[in-house]
């Protein structure tokens, strides 16, 4: 989110300094890994759809700035019992916003994707406008654009902030910077700030696996889209394989929050038990496919109490803007979040409706 904010600040011509404690593409927070799902018919809350419409425009703008792949709209498949949150919420968002969502009956779904071993109460939805974002490429592109537009991006840990001073003071191991405005996007490291503001953000450990093997061809992006599935109380999601190294193997992960961890703890390697859990997850999602676990990673979710983002301003003059608690589904929104944060910092309001993401909902 910090990279997106730096890009949007520099794009508007504001003098911008960005800080990160680690080098780009580090694997200690929430944004590493090659790919993320993007989709529009947002089952979580239809209010996200207008934000996504703008995010899509900005992802395409970012794509036009680089030859590296940024966005690939290979479609999305959603599978679950007809009355589960995923299916009902997706249909509701699609109906409200006039989005293209094809409904597949149990038998149509089974015929098209036999390896799902579709259960008698399950149906499918196909969203043509869904697909994937190449996450690491997009971080590189956003940082490059920000730098090219004049932003200074420093690899320094912020040790102290004086947000009441005028100008505000940002103290790192190397310098003290005076800033008129501050935008904080510290991911899992923001949990203590939200706690002070009365909102508990739980940091959880999540694992992701990539599978290959005899049946990998069924999961190529030309034959199988990005997917999400509600089965046996688990929310399984993932990304198809493809011809590039970034898409080597079909990605399988579980969106249910994993074990709670200390926000400041390092991300430990994936354990043998977690490898087994990933294999079980793939077997749950694709019982009819012969797949084997090839590689995996661990990552952090910052879970807000209701699973929606936390975007707000602290009442100082000018206001300090906060964005966190992205609860495992924020990446697809990154450019529009950057745009929103800049508007909040400079105009105190955004053209996008984000009141539903404010901390005040927990007051």
Count of CB atoms situated within 10 Å of the CB of 288: 14
CA distance 201 to 214: 41
Token pair belonging to 174: 């190397």
Which residue, 188 or 335, has its beta carbon nearer to ligand FAD?
188
Considering the complex, what minimum distance in angstroms separates the CB of residue 114 from ligand FAD? 25
Which residue, 289 or 341, has its beta carbon nearer to ligand FAD?
341
Q: What phi and psi, each to the nearest 5 degrees, are found at residue 53?
A: -55, -45
- The beta-strand segments (E) located in 121-278 are 122-127, 131-134, 152-154, 158-162, 168-172, 176-179, 183-184, 202-212, 226-231, 234-239, 250-254
Considering the complex, what minimum distance in angstroms separates the CB of residue 46 from ligand FAD? 17
Which residue, 26 or 214, has its beta carbon nearer to ligand FAD?
26
3-state secondary structure string across 43-98: CCCCCHHHHHHHHHHHHHHHHHCCCCCCEECCCEEEEEECCCHHHHHHHHHHHHHC
Which residue, 46 or 188, has its beta carbon nearer to ligand FAD?
188
CA distance 26 to 28: 6
Angstrom distances, CA of residue 138 to CA of 70, 285, 306: 6, 29, 28
Considering the complex, what minimum distance in angstroms separates the CB of residue 298 from ligand FAD? 8
Buried/exposed 252-273: b ≥16 CB within 10 Å, e otherwise: bbbbebbeebebeeebeebeee
Considering the complex, what minimum distance in angstroms separates the CB of residue 171 from ligand FAD? 10
Token pair belonging to 263: 């926000």
Considering the complex, what minimum distance in angstroms separates the CB of residue 258 from ligand FAD? 9
Residue numbers at the binding site for ligand FAD (CB under 6 A): 1-2, 19-22, 29-31, 36-37, 157-158, 185-189, 206, 208, 253, 299-301, 324, 326, 328-332
Angstrom distances, CA of residue 65 to CA of 69, 137, 141: 10, 11, 8
> Is residue 319 a contact partner of residue 346, using CB atoms and an 8 Å limit?
no
Which residue, 175 or 214, has its beta carbon nearer to ligand FAD?
175
- The CA-to-CA distance between both ends of the chain, in Å, stands at 25
Which residue, 291 or 299, has its beta carbon nearer to ligand FAD?
299
> Is residue 337 a contact partner of residue 1, using CB atoms and an 8 Å limit?
yes
Which residue, 286 or 296, has its beta carbon nearer to ligand FAD?
296
> Is residue 71 a contact partner of residue 334, using CB atoms and an 8 Å limit?
no
Which residue, 112 or 157, has its beta carbon nearer to ligand FAD?
157
Considering the complex, what minimum distance in angstroms separates the CB of residue 37 from ligand FAD? 4
Within 13 A of 307's CA, how many CA atoms are on the CB side?
A: 9
Considering the complex, what minimum distance in angstroms separates the CB of residue 110 from ligand FAD? 26
Which residue, 208 or 285, has its beta carbon nearer to ligand FAD?
208
Which residue, 118 or 301, has its beta carbon nearer to ligand FAD?
301
- Total count of residues recorded for the chain: 363
Considering the complex, what minimum distance in angstroms separates the CB of residue 326 from ligand FAD? 3
CA distance 332 to 246: 17
Considering the complex, what minimum distance in angstroms separates the CB of residue 303 from ligand FAD? 10
Considering the complex, what minimum distance in angstroms separates the CB of residue 137 from ligand FAD? 14
């Amino acid at each position: 989110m910090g990279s997106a904010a730096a890009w949007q600040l520099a794009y508007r011509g504001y003098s911008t300094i960005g800080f990160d404690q680690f080098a780009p593409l580090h694997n200690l927070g929430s944004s590493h890994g090659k790919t993320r799902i993007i989709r529009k018919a947002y089952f979580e809350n239809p209010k996200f759809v207008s934000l996504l419409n703008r995010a899509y425009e900005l992802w395409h703008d970012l794509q036009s700035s680089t030859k590296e792949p940024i966005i690939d709209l290979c479609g999305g498949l959603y599978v679950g019992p007809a009355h589960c949150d995923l299916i009902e919420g997706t249909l509701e968002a699609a109906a409200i916003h006039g989005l293209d969502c094809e409904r597949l009956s149990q038998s149509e779904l089974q015929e098209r994707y036999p390896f799902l071993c579709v259960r008698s109460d399950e149906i499918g939805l196909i969203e043509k406008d869904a697909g994937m974002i190449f996450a690491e490429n997009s971080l590189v592109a956003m940082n490059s654009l920000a730098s090219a537009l004049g932003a200074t991006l420093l690899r320094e840990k912020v040790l102290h902030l004086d947000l009441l001073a005028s100008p505000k003071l940002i103290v790192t191991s190397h310098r003290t910077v005076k800033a008129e405005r501050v935008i904080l996007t510290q991911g899992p490291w923001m949990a203590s700030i939200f706690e002070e503001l009365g909102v508990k953000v739980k940091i959880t450990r999540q694992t992701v696996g990539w599978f290959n093997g005899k049946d990998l061809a069924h999961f190529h992006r030309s034959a199988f889209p990005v997917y999400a599935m509600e089965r046996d109380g688990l929310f399984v999601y993932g990304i198809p394989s493809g011809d590039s190294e970034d898409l080597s193997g079909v990605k399988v992960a579980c969106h249910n929050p994993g074990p709670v961890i200390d926000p400041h703890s390092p991300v430990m390697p994936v354990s043998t038990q977690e490898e087994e859990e990933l294999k079980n997850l793939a077997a749950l999602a694709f019982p009819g496919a012969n797949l084997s676990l090839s590689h995996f990673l661990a990552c952090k979710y910052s879970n807000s109490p209701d699973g929606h983002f936390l975007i707000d301003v602290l009442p100082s003059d000018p206001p300090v803007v906060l964005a966190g608690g992205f609860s495992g589904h924020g990446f697809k929104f990154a450019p529009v979040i950057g745009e929103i944060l800049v508007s909040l910092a400079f105009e105190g309001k955004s053209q996008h409706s984000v009141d539903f993401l404010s901390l005040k909902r927990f007051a």
